[in-house]
Amino acid sequence: MGGVDLVVVGRALVGGSLVEAAVAVENGRIVGVTSPALAPPAEEVVELGAKRLLLPGMVDLHVHMREPGLEHKEDWRTGSMAAARGGVTCVFDMPNNRPPTNTCERVREKISRARSKSLVDFGVYAGYNPQPAELERCSSEFFGFKLYPDDLYSSGAEEVFRLAAKLRKPVLVHAEDPSRFRPSPLHSEARPPEAELSAARRAVELAALTGAWLHLTHVSTAAVLREASAARVALDITLDATPHHALLNESLYRGPLASIARVNPPLRGEEDREAVYESLRKGVVDAVVTDHAPHQLEEKLSQDPPPGFPGLELALHLLLREVLEGRMPLSVLELYSSRPAALAGLRKGRIAPGFDADLVVVEMREWVVKGSELVSKAKYTPFEGVKLRTATAATYVRGLLVYHEGVFAEKAVGMLVSGGG
């Protein structure tokens, strides 16, 4: 008896490299990272062995858990199971619920549902409200604002940026200009790259006008990466990109996965895909996000499939495949852990003393992705058939084991993490 609550011994990602370490955990926090020989006594000792690695829990700034209102697509239990199985210990949930999460009452309703069901920690965004001042009284309860394509061109968009500047919160923008959409059977032609550039320019103008922190989410084109990188020299602009825009291209829209792969912004041509890939490889973007956007399989196979697909279970392992096959540096993992955590002002995403004990045990094991085996309610993926080299063996949220070898904890331990700012 005595000592710390837990010590994990084995190869761990510490300060940018993999080292033999003992990670000591007490009261949900990491209290020591030492060589194994210097490990403190502990109630429980976990030895990883040769085929396992310890990583910090991943932090995903852009997911759709769908509850309240769209629980047939996903809910806080199944969505957080997908997160835990993917090694993601903190998610930030988008406001396009039914009804949209754009008042304090609705923000609080979502938080209380997440508290009662989520296995992982969470933050939430507030959606577009033409009178955003309503949201000021609960500003400590949401991380930032989210604007969809139509919101950005609504009369109240500037007001949202002004309030965000006052509250020092980010405005996340899905940049696509609906006036640039055109009818085409090919999804990537119906919503062309110019639509993203046009909307990104409008968002940058609003950021310049108001001084607000603009975060462009799921950036998918070379042009926007270039212009945003130039604009951020003078303005407070951050960017994220998804694994699907980095790894898949529009050729999927000509094959059997066309409906499954339908997503906004669309998968792009090879040049844009490569630019997104390079932005991850070089750490030009600030974060990787999944945009986990589950819909029912029947909806996806209908005449008019909704855009989006699940991503939380695969993102970390897709990144690790790139690393293990030598195409990306290990530091790409920072884009899905320490860097988004720092953007959100959280002591998460790093294996270091004082940080939350959000830990992921990754096992070296080859497996083939099958949509039907996902724990999300959305049992399909555009990555169908892809061979991965790693799997999540266990996931801890603040020292609590929420996932272990296919089994999920019963208890919802997820907590609201941040009002941000």
Active-site residue identified among 75, 272, 286, 291: 291
Q: Is there binding between residue 220 and ligand NCD (CB under 6 A)? A: no
Cβ 229 to ligand NCD, closest distance in Å?
22
Among 307, 329, 419, 421, binds ligand NCD (CB under 6 A): 307
Q: Is there binding between residue 82 and ligand NCD (CB under 6 A)? A: no
Among 78, 80, 249, 264, binds ligand NCD (CB under 6 A): 264
Among 64, 106, 215, 398, binds ligand NCD (CB under 6 A): 64
Q: Is there binding between residue 369 and ligand NCD (CB under 6 A)? A: no
Which of 13-21, 130-138, 301-309, 380-388 is the region at the interface with ligand NCD (rule: CB under 6 A)?
Answer: 301-309
Identify which of residues 97 and 392 has a Cβ nearer to ligand NCD in the complex.
97
Q: Is there binding between residue 305 and ligand NCD (CB under 6 A)? A: no
Window 161-180: residues binding ligand NCD (CB under 6 A): 174
Q: Is there binding between residue 96 and ligand NCD (CB under 6 A)? A: yes
Cβ 20 to Zn ion, closest distance in Å?
39
Q: Is there binding between residue 174 and Zn ion (CB under 5 A)? A: yes
- When CB distances are held under 5 to 8 angstroms depending on the partner's kind, the choice from ligand NCD, Zn ion, none that residue 100 binds is none
Cβ 130 to ligand NCD, closest distance in Å?
20
Q: Is 236 a catalytic residue?
A: no
- 3-state SS string over the chain? CCCEEEEEEEEEEECCEEEEEEEEEECCEEEEEECHHHCCCEEEEEECCCCEEEEECEEEEEECCCCCCCCCCCCHHHHHHHHHHCCEEEEEECCCCCCCCCCHHHHHHHHHHHHHHCCCEEEEEECCCCCHHHHHHHHHHCCEEEECHHHHCCCCHHHHHHHHHHHCCEEEECCCCHHHCCCCCCHHHHCCHHHHHHHHHHHHHHHHHHCCEEEECCCCCHHHHHHHHHHCCCCCEEEEECHHHHHCCHHHHHCCCCCCCCCCCCCCCHHHHHHHHHHHHCCCCCEECCCECCCCHHHHCCCCCCCCCCCCCCHHHHHHHHHHCCCCCHHHHHHHCHHHHHHCCCCCCCCCCCCECCEEEEEEEEEECCHHHCCCCCCCCCCCCCEEEEEEEEEEECCEEEEECCEECCCCCCCECCCCC
Cβ 239 to ligand NCD, closest distance in Å?
15
Cβ 323 to ligand NCD, closest distance in Å?
26
Q: Is there binding between residue 219 and ligand NCD (CB under 6 A)? A: no
Q: Which residues are catalytic?
A: 291
Residues that bind ligand NCD (CB under 6 A): 64, 96, 174, 263-264, 291, 293, 306-308
Residues that bind Zn ion (CB under 5 A): 174, 291
